[in-house]
Amino acid sequence: MLLPRLTQRANCSLRATRRTSQYIRSISSTSSFRAQNDEPRLNKVSATITQPKSQGASQAMLYATGITDEGLSKAQVGISSVWYSGNPCNMHLLDLNHKVKEGVEKAGLIGYQFNTIGVSDGISMGTKGMRYSLQSRDLIADSIETVMGGQWYDANISIPGCDKNMPGVMMAMGRVNRPSLMVYGGSIKPGCAKTQNNADIDIVSAFQAYGQFITGEITEEARFDVIRHACPGQGACGGMYTANTMATAIEVMGMTLPGSSSNPADSKAKYMECLAAGGAIRKLLVEDIRPRDIMTRLAFENAMIVVNITGGSTNAVLHLIAIADSVGIKLTIDDFQAVSDRTPFLADLKPSGKYVMNDLYNIGGTPALLKFLLKEGVIDGSGMTVTGQTLAKNLEAAPDFPADQDIIRPFSKPIKPTGHIQILRGSLAPGGSVGKITGKEGLRFVGKAKCYNDEDDFIAALEAGEIKKGEKTVVVIRYEGPKGGPGMPEMLKPSSAIMGAGLGNDVALITDGRFSGGSHGFLIGHIVPEAQEGGPIGLVRDGDKVIIDAETRVLDLEVGPEELARRTKEFKAPPPKYTKGTLAKYAKLVSDASHGCVTDGPI
C-alpha cells in the first residue's frame, strides 16, 4: 500500500511545483532587473562609507572583499541567514543564502552574506536549553539590526527556518526600516513509520511516543521506529506549528514573495523564490518601499485572521505583538480576542487536524488559501507587499483550490465557528492568559490542582503514575515565565506526554510558560502575572479547585479571599536562577507575555 501512496504524493508534488513555478515567474517578472537612466540612486545608505574620500579606509576594507570600482556605487544588500547545521529547520539555509546572493547579483546589486544564531526548539524541548529559545528571537533581531546598522547596508533579505527565527528577523526589519523581505526556509516532508501502519508521522509523533511508551501503549521497537523516521530531511516542522504559523502570517502581511510559507524546503519552487528575491529587493529599493509601509495595522489584522483560520500556534500572539512593537504599532491580546470572536477555524492541519503544510502546497499552497479568503471577503487585499503590488494584485495569478480538497473547510462547515485562540482572565490571570481551544477538547474544564515548580517534576510524577485516568486534574507548571524560567520555555514535552498517555480528557495544563505550536489538549499558557513576579499562579496549592471556561473566557482559582490574602502575605519569590550571562540580562529586561516579551521596552 505504501508505494502507490508515495507515487500519488510525488505526482501531486510535481504538479504543485509546476504550478508554483509558473506563479513565481508571473509575480517576479515585474521585479526583474531593468536598469534605467532615470532610476533613483539606490545606494543612499551604503554611500556613507563607499563615496567620501574621508572613508578611504572603509573602501580599502571593501576592496579586500572583492568589490570593484563600479561595485562601490551599487546598492549593498545584507543577506542574513539563520544557518547552522545541527537542526533540520536550518541546515539548508546556507544553500538558500547562496541562491539569494546569485539573484541579488543578477539584479545588479552587491550581496553581502552574514549569519545569526538560532536555537532548535525540537532539540532543546524538555531540557533547560529551552530557556534560550524565546531569548534567541530577540538576539536574532539585535544581531541583524547591529550588522545592518554597523555595515551600512541599503537593504536586507533574511532567511529564517525555525520557530523564533521568523519573528526575530521581522523585528530587525521593523527596527531598521530599510527595504527588506523574508525568504522562509520551508517545511520538511512527512516521515513514515512501518510500526504505525506506514502512517505519516512528524516531530510531534516523536514527542507523543514517549507518553505512549510509558503507559505501555507501544513497544520500545515502535517508539524507536517513530523517532528514527519522524524527520526525513531538511525543513521546519511540517504542521501548522509555530514556524509555519509565523511564515503564513508574514506572507499575508506582505513581507515575503507569494508562496514562501508553503514552498517546501527542498523544492524547485523554493530555489526559484530565492533567485527571484534579488529582483524584488531591487524594486523595493527603486520605489523606496520599506517594512513600515507594508507592516501596517491592516497587515496585522490580516495576520491575526489567518492564524485563527489555520488553527495556528499561540506563539503568534507573543510574536505578532513584538513585531508590531518594532514598527510602532500597539497590538494587544484583546485585539486577538476580537479577531477570534469573528473568525472561524477552517484548517484541518496538525496538531489538531491530520494534514501538514506539504499537503496544503499540493493544492495550491498559501496563495490559494489567501485567494480563497480574499474572495470570501475575510482578508483585506489593499495592503502593499514586497512585490511592489498589493496583496490582491499578487493573488490574481494564484491558483484556486481543487474542488475536491478537504484541508480547508468551507465557511458553511467550519471546524469551529469562532477562532481557537482565546484570551482568558480571572483570579488566576488578572493580566491575561492565552488558550488554544480548538473545540475537540471541550470548552470548560473544572478540576483539582496538582502543582509543579518545574516541568521535570511533572514528568517524574507522570512516570510514577501520580496522574490518574478518570480524575479531573489541572496540572499547574509555574516559575516558567519570561523572568522565572527564565525565557518562558515551551511545555511541549508535558503536553505531548499527557496526550500520549491517553489523559487528554482528564487533564488540563496551565502555566506561566508557553506552548509549542505542536501542542494540543486543554492548554492555557502565557499567564500574567507570572509566579516569579508574585502572580496568583504562584499561590495555587494541591487540591485547589480551578475553573477554566473558554466560553466566558475565565480562568479562576476557587479559594476564599481570606485564604488568598494569607497565602499572598506568606509568598516569597525564589531567587533568580541566573545572576550572570545572557539569561540574567534577559530576565531583567523582558516584558510580560501580554506585551510580547520584548526586551527593548514595549510602546
The Cα–Cα gap between 110 and 303 comes to 32
The Cα–Cα gap between 50 and 44 comes to 10
Catalytic-residue membership of 46:
no
Distance between start and end Cα atoms, the chain: 56
Cell numbers representing residue 5 in the block: 501512496
The Cα–Cα gap between 600 and 577 comes to 22
**117 three-class SS:** coil
Contacts of 26 (CB under 8 A, 6+ apart): 397
**408 three-class SS:** strand
CA distances from 161 to 16, 85, 167, 170, 334 (A): 22, 12, 11, 13, 29
Instruction: Write the DSSP string, 49-113.
Output: HHS-GGGHHHHHHHHHTT--TGGGGS-EEEEEE---TTSTTTTTHHHHHHHHHHHHHHTT-EEEE
Of 28, 120, 516, 591, which one is the catalytic site residue? 516
Residue the block writes with cell 527565527: 165
Residue the block writes with cell 504505525: 196
In this structure, are residues 154 and 231 in contact, taking their beta carbons and an 8 Å threshold? Answer: no
The Cα–Cα gap between 531 and 252 comes to 36
In this structure, are residues 193 and 209 in contact, taking their beta carbons and an 8 Å threshold? Answer: no
In this structure, are residues 23 and 364 in contact, taking their beta carbons and an 8 Å threshold? Answer: no
Strands 522-528 and 155-159: unpaired
Q: Sheet harboring 110-115: ordered strands across?
A: 110-115, 76-81, 155-159, 180-182
Q: Which of 397, 337, 390, 387 is nearest to 365 (CA)?
A: 397
Residue the block writes with cell 491517553: 502
In this structure, are residues 516 and 480 in contact, taking their beta carbons and an 8 Å threshold? Answer: no
CB atoms under 10 Å from CB of 375, counted, come to 12
Residue 379, classified by CB atoms within 10 Å of its CB into exposed (0-12), middle (13-18) or buried (19+), is buried
* Phi, psi of 564, rounded to the nearest 5 degrees: -65, -40
Contacts of 583 (CB under 8 A, 6+ apart): 131, 132, 135, 486, 487, 577
Which residues are designated catalytic? 516
